[in-house]
Chain A
Amino acid sequence: MDRRVNDLNHGYLKEETKQKVRKSFFHSDFPAILLNDFFDQGFYTELKKKILSLNFKRDAVILHHSYAISSYKITSKEFCDFISFITKKKIDEITFSAYLLTWKDYMILNDKYLQKPGIDVIIDLTDNWNAELGGVVTFTDGKGTVYPITPTENSLAIVERKKNLQKYIQYINHYAKDKKRLLLIASI
Chain B
Amino acid sequence: MKINNWLNPQNFSAEKIKRYQAAFSSNKPFPYLELANFIKPEKIIALLQALNEQEFSPKQADLFQFLQTSDLLYSDDPVLKEFIALFSSPELIALMHDVTNLKLNGKIDLFASIYQDTDFLLPHDDQLPGRKIAFMLYLNDLDEKDGGALAFYETKNKTPTKISKRIIPKAGTLVFFEVSPLSFHTVEEVVIDTQRITLSGWFYG
A: residues with CB less than 8 A from B are 62-63, 104, 106-109, 134, 138, 140, 168, 170-171, 173-175
Task: Determine how close the nearest CB of chain A comes to the CB of B196; give it in whole angstroms.
Answer: 15
Complex contact B118–A63 (CB within 8 A) = no
Question: In whole angstroms, how far apart are the Cα atoms of A104 and B160 in the complex?
Answer: 17
Known contacts A62-B160, A62-B161, A63-B123; A174/B62 CB under 8 A: no
Task: Determine how close the nearest CB of chain A comes to the CB of B115; give it in whole angstroms.
Answer: 12
Contacts of B191 in A (CB 8 A): 174
Known contacts A62-B123, A62-B153; A171/B160 CB under 8 A: no
Complex contact B189–A174 (CB within 8 A) = yes
- Which residues of chain B from 112 to 168 have any CB-CB distance to chain A below 8 Å in the complex? 118, 120, 122-124, 147, 153, 159-161
Picked from B62, B161, B184, B189, the residue with its CB within 8 Å of the CB of A108 is B62
21 A-B residue pairs with Cβ-Cβ distance under 8 Å, sorted by A, are: A62-B123, A62-B153, A62-B159, A62-B160, A62-B184, A63-B159, A63-B160, A63-B184, A106-B62, A106-B122, A107-B62, A108-B63, A109-B62, A109-B63, A170-B62, A171-B120, A173-B118, A173-B120, A174-B147, A174-B189, A175-B118
User: For chains A and B in complex, what number of residue pairs have CB atoms within 8 angstroms?
Assistant: 38
Which 8 pairs from chain A and chain B are nearest by CB? A168-B62, A173-B118, A108-B62, A62-B160, A174-B191, A62-B123, A109-B62, A108-B63
Task: Determine how close the nearest CB of chain B comes to the CB of A140; give it in whole angstroms.
Answer: 7
Of the four ranges (under 10, 10 to 19, 20 to 34, 35 or more), the interface on chain B belongs to 10 to 19
- Which residues of chain B from 172 to 193 have any CB-CB distance to chain A below 8 Å in the complex? 184, 189, 191
Tell me whether B65 is interfacial, beta carbon within 8 Å.
yes
Question: In whole angstroms, how far apart are the Cα atoms of A109 and B63 in the complex?
Answer: 8
- Which residues of chain B from 84 to 133 have any CB-CB distance to chain A below 8 Å in the complex? 118, 120, 122-124
Contacts of B153 in A (CB 8 A): 62
Given contacts A62-B184, A63-B124, A140-B62, 5 further A-B contacts (CB under 8 A): A63-B160, A106-B122, A109-B63, A171-B65, A171-B189
Complex contact A174–B118 (CB within 8 A) = yes
Against A, the Cβ 8 Å flags (1 = close, 0 = not) of B50-75 are 00000000000111010000000000
A106, A109, A170, A171 — which one has the most chain B CB atoms within 10 A of its CB? A171
Question: In whole angstroms, how far apart are the Cα atoms of A107 and B161 in the complex?
Answer: 16
Known contacts A62-B153, A62-B184, A108-B62; A173/B189 CB under 8 A: yes
Contacts of B61 in A (CB 8 A): 140
Complex contact B118–A138 (CB within 8 A) = no
Question: In whole angstroms, how far apart are the Cα atoms of A174 and B117 in the complex?
Answer: 9
Contacts of B62 in A (CB 8 A): 106-109, 138, 140, 168, 170
Contacts of B160 in A (CB 8 A): 62-63
A166: nearest chain-B partner, CB-CB: B62
Contacts of A138 in B (CB 8 A): 62
Complex contact A108–B122 (CB within 8 A) = yes
Question: In whole angstroms, how far apart are the Cα atoms of A171 and B119 in the complex?
Answer: 10
Contacts of A63 in B (CB 8 A): 123-124, 159-160, 184
Task: Determine how close the nearest CB of chain A comes to the CB of B124; give it in whole angstroms.
Answer: 8
A62: nearest chain-B partner, CB-CB: B160
Contacts of B189 in A (CB 8 A): 104, 171, 173-174
Task: Determine how close the nearest CB of chain A comes to the CB of B156; give it in whole angstroms.
Answer: 11
B153: nearest chain-A partner, CB-CB: A62
Contacts of B147 in A (CB 8 A): 174
Contacts of A108 in B (CB 8 A): 62-63, 122
Question: In whole angstroms, how far apart are the Cα atoms of A170 and B147 in the complex?
Answer: 18
Task: Determine how close the nearest CB of chain A comes to the CB of B4; give it in whole angstroms.
Answer: 42
Contacts of B63 in A (CB 8 A): 108-109
Task: Determine how close the nearest CB of chain A comes to the CB of B42; give it in whole angstroms.
Answer: 35
